[in-house]
């Protein structure tokens, strides 16, 4: 087993919810339960540690975004 798995900031294609995942192929959106493929269309950023990934997620959610 490899010790380090990259943590990805991913976006659900259906409801546009942002969340973190360490999955390499698929992740399930915890808001709408849609199963999304992990790929260029869903992965926004990738990190080696959970702390950096979480900080980026918070910033993305808080940042100048689209209306709800």
Write down the least CB distance from residue 4 to Zn ion, Å: 27
The reply on whether position 15 binds Zn ion by CB under 5 A is: yes
The reply on whether position 10 binds Zn ion by CB under 5 A is: no
Binding segment for Zn ion among 8-16, 20-28, 40-48, 52-60 (CB under 5 A)?
Answer: 8-16
Task: Determine how β-strand 43-47 pairs with β-strand 18-21.
Answer: unpaired
| Residues near Zn ion, by CB under 5 A | 12, 14-15, 17, 29, 31-32, 34
């Amino acid at each position: 087993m490899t010790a380090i798995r990259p943590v990805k900031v991913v976006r659900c294609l259906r409801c546009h919810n942002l969340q973190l995942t360490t999955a390499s192929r698929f992740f399930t959106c915890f808001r709408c339960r849609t199963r999304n493929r992990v790929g260029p269309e869903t992965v926004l950023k990738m990190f080696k540690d959970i702390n950096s990934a979480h900080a980026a997620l918070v910033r993305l959610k808080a940042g100048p975004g689209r209306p709800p």
